[in-house]
Structure 1
Amino acid sequence: MTKKANLALMLTTTMLVAGLAAGCGNHASSEAVTQKVDSSATQSAEASAKSSADQPAYPRVLKDEMGNEVTLPSAPAKIFAPNLEDTLVALGVAPVVQWSTGSRPKMYLQDKLKDLPSITFAGGLPPEPEAVMAHEPDLILLHNANHMESGVYDKYKMIAPTYVFKQANADLDSSVRIVGDILGKSTEAEQALQKYKEHVESAKKELAPHIQGKKAAIIRFNGRGMFFIKYDFFSGYVLTNELGFLPSQVVSGGGINLSLESLPDLDADYIFLINDAGTGDAYEKELTESAVWKSMEAVKNGRTFRVEGDHWLSGGLIAHMKVIDDVKGLIAK
């Protein structure tokens, strides 16, 4: 028997054991939360009819963004989508288990997902296949290509059909539509994107008088130091690409590391500070109590803001709308 076949047999056997242990408890939990998520958005009869029309025929063969063939034997019902929970919730779907740092899931989604179990990605490392199998997913969605390079995909695809994005959070228009298509939720995907677009346009108009021609930067603190958040995705993307702040040349043209020595070069009219779950207290104190910080124009003009919440460090329509609301509350008051 080949090594790959041995691994397949091992994983299959583990899944059977996990299934006996877990029973249908996880499925019931996910179903209950999905009903809760769905109940937050009331659909018209016409929209419901369109949603039914979205349902594809099975078995279904797809190609993911990395060129892998993905075969879905039936409609997915138990989805493991670490770091894509935001998109699932936006579509009215609950995952079977949610991503966690080891101590905290995505807190900004807990009004919808608090009753779901979490699975740890402590230290940024994906959980072992056995831990994933215990939740019996019938579809796995991986949000970026790193999972291919690290070998995670090769392990997870033996558990359930696995779809890999190149970088889902870098193009939400595309990734939300893809997830909607995979789950038979294309109508919900278009509705979620339209809601987001309207949210952005309304905020841009409200903020325009305050931020026209102004540059913004985000500084993140954690246990390793202080860093800039780039403008490619997460809250950095929201500020520049959605709301209309200009990018700082220091942030966009340099590295992510920040020091007190390089701080005077920062060309930002507005500065947002985010302390990652309180792990960067020492570095935040070092920065904000320094003479160089107090001498900066943004500080003197009252345009520095301490923001809280992991939505500033997350990607997804819901996270982005929460960042937008925070910025409006701080600047357009």
Structure 2
Amino acid sequence: MAKRFNRGKRMWRNNIAALACCAVIIGLLSGCGGKAETEAPGGDQEATKTAAVETSGKAGSGQASTEEPGTNREETSTKEERTVTDELGHEVKIPAEVNKVFAPNMEDSLLKLGVKPVAQWANGKLGHSYLQEELDGIPLIDFSGGLPSPEALMSYEPDLIVLHTETYAADGTYEKYAKIAPTYVFKNASGNVEKSLSTLGDLLGKASEAETALKNYQQKASEAKAKLSSVVGDKNVAIIRFAPRGVSLMGGNYLCGYVIHQDLGLGKSKLVENENAANLSLEILPQLDADYIFVINAYDQGTERMKEMTESPIWKGMPAVKNGQVYEADNEYWLGSGLIAYEKIVDDVVRSITGQ
């Protein structure tokens, strides 16, 4: 009897020990399973966090995310919003990201920055013809009857509006547009295209693109200037613009005149020595001191006046005409205001005068 009791007691102890051992093993397995879910192979939790952040960044924008957990993206954008002062003294709040810009008559500069506008300037149904290949599909807004109404502009939902001249902002237009989106106004962006391009690049977060475009243009202009200098020397170059309202001699302060007389350093007539432009007639024509002449039929609307002057004996007796140094320029980009137009003008001048 005693033997059976002792044997039973030993069996009970063995069962208790076995149960305790199983409990320990189950606990260990449970703990290992929990770690497997939260740690990278090797048990390095920091490596797992880093990998998760990098993966999140690559999935979004190709860069590692810099946001802290719980950061609100909208709050981050608000913090990055900038306030700048435009050339008329308006304080303008520039959004952290500008995705939709409306900048009529600055399409050339926008394209140089790799940006397409939500809509483009047009005269009737015609936009800037030399840009239409790149602006294919961009809606045209007719400016022939004035600036678009606020209601028409609102339909494009711009993030930023840029007006290239202060006349665009007159008569309450600025106040109306500023209610639609932040509105930046230049006094005259066409007066110094290189400066206005830099400003536009800063507004759109494209400063590096603007810097690269300017360097490339300046290099191109410098090389052209050297070629032209050896041929033209100290002789003058004139630009005559034929339009329905009259004939003018363009000065060196804007558009193609700026390119020829400032960027390329070619001399200009004393008639526009200190002027943006001067009226030109058959009576004044003999005073034109220029050995090279470029003529522009403005938007193909100056044909009648151009024919009247160029068929006159006075015109035919001018040295530039006798020497075959009169060149008809493309009216679209020669009156364009941007580096794309300027580069084309440089090519035209070099090819016409040097034959290269």
Please classify the TM superposition score into its range, dividing by the shorter chain length.
0.7 to 0.9
**Structure-2 residue corresponding to 1:70:** 92
Q: 1:78-227 alignment to 2 at 5 Å?
A: 78-122=100-144, 125-227=146-248
Summarize deviations over 1:29-85 as a string: whole Å, max 9, x none.
Answer: xxxxxxxxxxxxxxxxxxx99xxxxx9963222211211111134411111001111
Q: 1:43-58 alignment to 2 at 5 Å?
A: 58=80
Pick aligned residue for 1:269 from 291, 294, 312: 291
2-structure distance, mates of 1:296, 1:126: 42
TM superposition shift of 1:286:
0.3
1-structure distance, mates of 2:318, 2:90: 50
Check conservation: 2:271, 2:278, Cα contact below 8 A.
no
RMSD: 1.9
2-structure distance, mates of 1:266, 1:56: 58
Letter in 1 for 2:232: I
Summarize deviations over 1:129-168 as a string: whole Å, max 9, x none.
Answer: 2222222211100112223344321221111110011221
Is structure 2 residue 308 aligned with structure 1 residue 286?
yes
TM superposition shift of 1:223:
1.8
- Give the match's secondary structure for 2:158: coil
Q: 1:21-32 alignment to 2 at 5 Å?
A: none
2-structure distance, mates of 1:241, 1:253: 13
Check conservation: 1:98, 1:116, Cα contact below 8 A.
yes
- Give the match's secondary structure for 1:127: coil
**Structure-2 residue corresponding to 1:240:** 261
Summarize deviations over 1:201-221 as a string: whole Å, max 9, x none.
Answer: 111112111111011111111
- Give the match's secondary structure for 2:98: coil
Is structure 2 residue 317 aligned with structure 1 residue 295?
yes
Letter in 1 for 2:155: A
1-structure distance, mates of 2:79, 2:249: 46
TM superposition shift of 1:253:
4.7
* Matched residue count: 280
Q: Name the CA shift for 1:157/1:279 in 2 (closer, same or farther; >3 Å).
A: same
Check conservation: 2:333, 2:345, Cα contact below 8 A.
yes
Check conservation: 2:105, 2:164, Cα contact below 8 A.
yes
Is structure 2 residue 341 aligned with structure 1 residue 319?
yes
Letter in 2 for 1:128: S
2-structure distance, mates of 1:57, 1:231: 43
2-structure distance, mates of 1:223, 1:103: 20
Summarize deviations over 1:276-329 as a string: whole Å, max 9, x none.
Answer: 221111011001100100011111111111111411112111111110011111
Q: Name the CA shift for 1:285/1:57 in 2 (closer, same or farther; >3 Å).
A: farther
Check conservation: 2:83, 2:91, Cα contact below 8 A.
yes
Q: Name the CA shift for 1:150/1:303 in 2 (closer, same or farther; >3 Å).
A: farther
1-structure distance, mates of 2:272, 2:344: 23
1-structure distance, mates of 2:142, 2:339: 23
Summarize deviations over 1:157-197 as a string: whole Å, max 9, x none.
Answer: 11111001122122233211111111111111110111111
Pick aligned residue for 1:231 from 227, 232, 252: 252
2-structure distance, mates of 1:121, 1:129: 13
- Give the match's secondary structure for 2:190: helix
TM-score for both structures, normalised by structure 1? 0.80
- Give the match's secondary structure for 2:184: strand
Check conservation: 1:90, 1:317, Cα contact below 8 A.
yes
Check conservation: 1:64, 1:70, Cα contact below 8 A.
yes
2-structure distance, mates of 1:61, 1:109: 31
Based on CA coordinates, which of the two structures has the bigger radius of gyration?
2
Check conservation: 1:107, 1:309, Cα contact below 8 A.
no
Letter in 1 for 2:211: E
Check conservation: 1:213, 1:246, Cα contact below 8 A.
yes
- Give the match's secondary structure for 2:349: helix
Gaps spanning 5+ residues in structure 2: where? 1-61, 64-76
